[in-house]
Each structure stands twice: as C-alpha cells, then as structure tokens.
Structure 1
Amino acid sequence: MPETPQDAAPGGGRVDLRADCGNCFGLCCVALPFSASADFAVSKDAGDPCANLQSDFRCGIHTRLRQQGFSGCTVYDCFGAGQQVSQITFGGRDWRAAPQTAQQMYEVFPVMRQLHELLWYLTEALTLRPARPLHSELRRALGETERLTRLSPDSLVELDVAAHRDDVNALLLRASELVRATVRRKKKNRRGADLIGAALKGADLQGANLRGAYLIAADLTGADLRLADLIGADLRDASLAGADLTESFFLTQAQLNAAKGDAGTKLPPTLTRPSHWSP
C-alpha cells in the first residue's frame, strides 16, 4: 500500500521531521507548561525551565523519565520543530545567551510544532497509493506549509495557524477516504468517538475512521487496525498487544509511546517499537 517516502515527497522523506534534541535549545522543557499529575511529578509554568534541564540543554534524567514520574515527557514529539526554531528561525541564538529572544522563541515554538506535524501528515499522505489523485494538491499544501516554516519570528507569531490546519485537514480527510475506500466491506466510523476503556479485543477495525477518537485505556488486544485512520486518536494506556497496525496511517510515534504494546504488535515501517513495551 505505501510507497517509499523517497518516491513521493520532497526532501526524500521525514528525517527533518524527527526531533533532534542535540540541535535544540530544550524548548519543550522550557516553553511548555505542565501540571503535577500521573504524567508529571511536578508543575511548571510556561517559560520556566524544567528543573531537570541542564546547561547543555539536555535532560538530566532522560534515561529515567518514567521512573522519576515524567512519563508525559516520553510521549511528547515536536516533529523536529525544536531544531527548526533553534537553528533556523533564530539562527542558533539560544535563549540563555540572548535572553531578549526568549519570550518570542517560546511563542514561535508551538506554532512551528503545528506546522511540522502537518508536514509529517502531508508527507505520509504522499506515500499512499490510493491518494494519488490528490498528489498535486498534497504537494502544493506541503510546499506552502514548508514556506510558512521559513517565516520570520514576527510573522510566525502572527500566523493564523488554525486556519491553515483546517485547510490541510480537509485535504488529509479526502486522502483518508480514498485509502479507506479500498476496504470493500462496511467500515466503522468512530471519528471523535468516546471509546475510553472500550472492550475492543480482537475487533475488526480495518479501514475504520478513528480520527480524534478517545481510546484511552481501551483494550485493542489483537485488533485489526490495518488501513485505519488514526490521526489525533488518543491512545494513552490503550492495549495494542498483538494488534495489527501495519497499514494504519497518520499514526505518530508519540501515540505509540503513550500506548501499551508487546513483541506481537505489528507496526508501520516508519515507526519504532517503544522501549517500555512488554517483550
């Protein structure tokens, strides 16, 4: 079903859309707020550096985040926005050495993160053979989104990113419909559905629309999720043991990191098995 990214997308794939913490100024650790909860051991306001952030912008407990109560950090993905803002938008000037840039950098980061997430989905859409009739539109949307990532900090702060997301999402939905139409039987529409804790063990969800579905702690053990659209689905603590996600699409690494799986879980080739999953 999928083509290789090199065949379909500008730039030869999604390398630049993966977080490169070594070239980022720890932006997710300072720009974003979090509250003490099951995901975070303490609370932190936006703009305040996390107490675990070191002088080299690395996390001091990176290898022990889950054990130290910071599992929320392990499921966050900036899609490469951190290094884009740090090295391109602000030209390598970090917020410690140039504190006058700090506030604007913190405001730009979440905007850039949204743009990079859209780049991820658009790039993936261009690998989906059934979506070929939309490739010209997808390429235009990809090019426009890439152009927006190169805007100045002032322009990025003023950007109506929500409007751009709406436009891109409408196009991605059309691509999804073409892909899921290849499943010849009746398909389940669970878009935005409340499936928290749902008993879906062994469920046939092939070609299902699960966009934005709440699947928190759902039992998807052994479920067939091939060709299912999982964009925005909340998979926190969902059991994916033995589930087949090989041809599911618009699935991200962050979603997998938030879920529970095992060695029997079948994944798309572009994603990796989280290290905390059961053997």
Structure 2
Amino acid sequence: MSETPGPTDAAPLRADCGNCFGLCCVALTFSVSADFPVEKKAGDPCHHLRDDSRCGIHDRLRTQGYQGCTVYDCFGAGQRVSQVTFGGRDWREAPGTAGQMFAALPVMRQLHELLWYLTEALTLVPARPVHAEIRPVLAATERLAGSAPDALLEIDVAAHRARVNPLLLRTSELVRAEVRGKKKNRRGADLFGARLKGADLRGADLRGAYLIAADLRGADLRLADLIGADLRDTDLRGADLTGSIFLTQSQVNAAKGDSGTAIPTALVRPAHW
C-alpha cells in the first residue's frame, strides 16, 4: 500500500495567516468551554488580535486556554476572502465591507474544504475510474469560490455538497478496496471513548464517526476513510494513518499524537504533539 500524497497544488488550500486580515479571530463565535476561556460574539474582534492582524498570544494559545484556535483550520479561505474576494481591502480600513466579509468566511471555508477533498481524490490512483467525473465538479467548485461577495453569500453550499459527496463516496470505495478482505464499516458510529488500542482498521469506513477521546494508540488506520470523523482528544499515539483518505489538518490538530504517529505527508505534525 502506497502512502496517499495528498492534494497537489494545495498551497491555496492551506492557511496563510500573513495574507489574511485575522478573519477567524473576528468572524467566529467563541463560547466558554474547554476550547475557549471567554465568550466572544461573531463580528467582535478577539482582544488578543493585534492591529497587524496577528495573534498576540500565538505561541501560548493552549496554555492560555485557547485550544480551539490551535485546532481551527480555514483551508486557505481566510486569505482568499481577504485578498481575492475583497481585493485586499482590510475590514478596518473599509468598515462598510466588514459584515459581508465576515459572513463570507464560513461559506468560503466550506467550498475550500470541498476543493481539498476533490483535489486529493485526483491524486489517488485507485480512484482513476471517477477522475473524469471529478474534474468538472472540481472546476465548478472553484468557480463558486471565485464568486463576487454578493453571489458568494447566495451559494447553496449544502446542495453543492450533495453533488460532490457521491464522487467522494465512490473514491473511498475504490481506494479502500486496495485492502483485501472484509473491512470494518463504522460510518457515523458513536465511538466516544472507545477502547481501540492496536485495532486493525485498515480500509475502514469511519466517515462521520464520533471518536472523541477514543483510545487508538497503535491502531492501524492505513487507507481508512476519515472524512468528517470527530477526532477531538482522540489518542493517536503510535497510530499509523499512512494513506488515510480525506483526513484534514483540523482533525489532526484536534487529536493527541506523538513522534510515533504516522500521518499523510500532506499534513503537518501539530506542535503540541
């Protein structure tokens, strides 16, 4: 089994905070929880956001209780909204655009997440039978992401996702078929706190599974489909996620791992591991 290389030409789908106007620090809501120590309404800047759009406590977010900030990933939506959709106009300098800009971020993030999945699907050799169908849908998703502000806010992302999902499902089936024998189907399963240490989950369907605080130490997750799986506080120390498909940076950031955790090359090992 070869390792999934991850999306090619993925730079636009990776967060580039230096080219964003701190949108996630303003547009999103914070609720007091294990992820945030304070309440913050959508549209209100976090009090740690500096005038240069940088975070004043970036190097100590977790110790200050802002774990949610270290988990969040915008798939590059922040810099696209900032530099492309709104042409590089900072919401501070053009306050009339602020509300629309903040509303655009979650829409763009969803579109960029779909772009990540579709782009990854085109790198997967076993999925070649559906590549011809994926390419026009990828192009259509890119066109939607390139919409003007007014049009962007009118996009029915759920309807477009419904068009994309069958292709991702077929991709998953083709890739996971590379693993011989019967594979576990735990799609959408409630595996909260499950004891799965050392489990053989090669080629498993874990789409949308709730793996919160599950023990997956040393588990074999090669070629498993992890799209939408909730990996908050999932213990992945020593686990092998080589070639796992549709795994995202935010999922990895939310989990617990160590130097022995093998992740796809397209993703970055979190600093807190």
TM-score, normalised to structure 2's length? Answer: 0.97
Q: What SS does the aligned partner of 1:269 have?
A: coil
Aligned counterpart, 1:88: 84
CA distance in structure 2 between the partners assigned to 1:47 and 1:122 by the alignment: 31
Is the Cα contact below 8 Å between 1:240 and 1:261 reproduced in 2? yes
- Residue 34 of structure 1 deviates from its aligned partner by 1.3
Task: Rate the CA distance shift 1:4–1:71 in 2: closer, same or farther, 3 A.
Answer: closer
**What is the identity, as a one-letter code, of the residue corresponding to 1:231?**
I
Whether the 8 Å contact between 2:242 and 2:262 is mirrored in structure 1 is yes
* Long gaps (5+) in structure 1: none
Contact 1:19 1:79 in 2 (8 A): yes
Q: Tell me which amino acid in the other structure corresponds to 1:203.
A: A
1:212 to 208, 214, 218: 208
Distance, in Å, in 1 between the alignment partners of 2:4 and 2:50 is 41
Question: Which residue of 58, 61, 64 corresponds with 1:62?
Answer: 58
Letter in 2 for 1:168: V
Provide the residue aligned with 1:195 in structure 2. Answer: 191
Counting only pairs closer than 5 Å after superposition, residues 1-279 of structure 1 correspond to structure 2 as 1=2, 12-277=8-273
Given that residues 206 and 227 in structure 2 are in contact (C-alpha distance below 8 angstroms), is that contact kept between their aligned partners in structure 1? yes
Inter-CA distance 42–178: structure 2 relative to 1 (3 Å threshold)? same
The letter for the 2-side match of 1:218 is A
CA distance in 2 between partners of 1:108 and 1:85 (Å): 7
What is the identity, as a one-letter code, of the residue corresponding to 1:276? H
| AA of the residue aligned to 2:63 | Q
After TM superposition, give the deviation of residue 161 of structure 1 in Å: 0.8
Q: Is the 8 A contact 1:197 1:219 kept in 2?
A: yes
Check conservation: 2:209, 2:230, Cα contact below 8 A: yes
Q: 1:150: Cα distance to partner? A: 0.8
Q: How many residues align?
A: 272
- After the TM superposition, list the runs of 4 or more consecutive aligned residues in structure 1 that deviate by more than 6 angstroms: none
**Residues 32-85 of structure 1: CA deviation (Å, up to 9, x unaligned):** 101011100101001110111110111000011000000000000000000000
TM-score, structure 1 length as denominator? 0.95
Return the letter of the residue paired with 1:74. Answer: T
Identity %: 73
The 2-side partners of 1:173 and 1:181 are apart by 12
Deviation at 1:94, TM superposition (A): 1.1
In the TM superposition, residue 184 of structure 1 has moved relative to its aligned partner by 1.4
**Matching residue's letter, 1:172:** L
Deviation at 1:2, TM superposition (A): 5.3
Contact 2:3-2:242 within 8 A present in 1 as well = no
Contact conserved, 2:130 with 2:171, CA < 8 A, in 1? yes
Q: Output the CA distance in 2 between the equivalents of 1:273 and 1:55.
A: 29
Cα separation, partners in 2 of 1:216 and 1:184, compared to 1, 3 Å? same
For 1:16 and 1:130, the matched residues in 2 are separated by 25
Greater relative contact order structure (CA < 8 Å, 6+ sep)? 2
Root-mean-square deviation (CA), in Å? 1.1
Find the aligned partners of 1:49 and 1:3 in 2 and give their Cα distance.
Answer: 38
Asked whether the equivalents of residues 3 and 129 of structure 1 are also in contact (C-alpha less than 8 Å), the reply is: no
Q: CA deviation at 1:267?
A: 1.2
